[in-house]
Amino acid sequence: MLYIITGAAGFIGSNLVRALNKRGENNIIAVDNLKNADKFKNLVDCDIADYLDKADFLKKIQDGAFDGQVGAILHQGACSDTMETDGRYMMENNYHYTLALLNYCQNKNIPFLYASSASVYGGGSVFKEDREYEAPLNVYAYSKFLFDQIVRRRWDQRSGQIVGLRYFNVYGSGEAHKGRMASVAYHFFNQFRAEGRGKLFEGCDGYAHGAQLRDFVSIEDVVKVNMYFLDNPDKSGIFNLGTGQAQSFNDMAVATINTLRTAQDEPALSLAELQQQEIISYIPFPDQLRGKYQSYTQADIGALRNIGYTEAFLSVEQGVAHYVTQMLKKAA
C-alpha cells in the first residue's frame, strides 16, 4: 500500500512522513516542488519510496501509474503565502490541483485528507465550520474557501473518505524554510539568540501591541489529528484544527524567551519585565496587511470532538517549550 503525501518536503507534510515512518510505514511517495531547494532538509531523516515533482506526479496519477496501489493521499501541498498577489497562480496551485486529486480519489475510492485553512473565516469572530461565518480576506484564503465549497456541493455523492482540516496557526519543527511565514516562536528563538531581544507587530484593530490573539496549535497535535483520520476511514468532514483557545503573540514571545532563559539558568520574566527591559519591542504594523489580517482567531473544535477525537491539545506554554528545546538540541 502506498501513502502519497503532497507538500512532503514542507512543514506539515514532512512531519506526516515522519509520523508514518514511526508506524513502520515507508512505502511513501513524497510529492513537492523543490524550487526552494532548502526544503530537502526536512526529508533527510525520513524514509520514503520515491520523490516526485508535483507536476510529474499529477500527470502520472492521471495516467493510472498508481492505480490499485494507493492507500490514502494526504494533500498538504499549497502556496501558503497570504501576501501572494498572483491570483492565477494561487488558484491553479491551490484550487485546480486539489480538485484534480479529489476527482482521482473519489473515482478510485481512496481516502483523501487535505489541508484547508482558518483563513477562510476572514475577520469574523466566530470560527465554526458553517458557510455563514466564512469571508476570506485574500486570494490564498479564497482558494481554500472555494475548494471547501466544492467538497460541500459533492458531499452526498462522495464515494470515499474526505477530510478537510482547517489549520489555525501551526508552529513547530520543520518550518525553517518558510522564512517570514514561519511562526513567532521560530523568529523569536533566532532573534533572541542573535541579539538578546525580539520584535512583534504593534497593535491593530483595537488590540494593544502584540496583543492580537490567534489559536496557535503545535505540529505535534496537527499530526495526531491527521493520524486519527487515517485510522478512522469511516469518518469524513471539514474540521477546524486548533486548540480551541486563543492566546496572544505576546504569549508566544514570552514562552519562547523564558524557555531560552531557563536553558541559560536565568529566571523567567513577566511580559511587563520583558517590555520594560526592551527584550520584547514592537515595529509598525505593515500597511500591506491592513484589511487583510486576522487579529483574532479561536477554533470552535466542537465538530472534531463530536466525531470522536478526544486528545487534549498543547497550550502555547507547553508546545513552545518543547519546540524551543528541540531547536536548541539541533543548534548544539
Residues involved in catalysis: 140, 178
- Do residues 32 and 39 make contact, with C-beta atoms less than 8 angstroms apart? yes
- Do residues 301 and 240 make contact, with C-beta atoms less than 8 angstroms apart? yes
Rounded-to-integer distance, Cα 70 and Cα 129, Å: 29
Measure the CA angle with vertex 207, ends 206 and 210; round to 5°. Answer: 155
- Do residues 23 and 230 make contact, with C-beta atoms less than 8 angstroms apart? no
- Do residues 293 and 137 make contact, with C-beta atoms less than 8 angstroms apart? yes
Rounded-to-integer distance, Cα 207 and Cα 213, Å: 9
Q: DSSP string spanning 199-254?
A: EEEPP-TTPPTT--EE-EEEHHHHHHHHHHHHH-TT--EEEEES-S--EEHHHHHH
> Which whole-number Å values give the CA distances from 172 to 24, 85, 94, 196, in the listed order?
23, 27, 23, 21
Rounded-to-integer distance, Cα 12 and Cα 165, Å: 12
- Do residues 184 and 253 make contact, with C-beta atoms less than 8 angstroms apart? yes
Rounded-to-integer distance, Cα 173 and Cα 25, Å: 21
Q: Of the candidates 78, 101, 95, 264, which has an alpha carbon nearest to the alpha carbon of residue 167?
A: 78
Rounded-to-integer distance, Cα 313 and Cα 221, Å: 6
Helices (runs of H) and strands (runs of E) counted in the chain: 11, 13
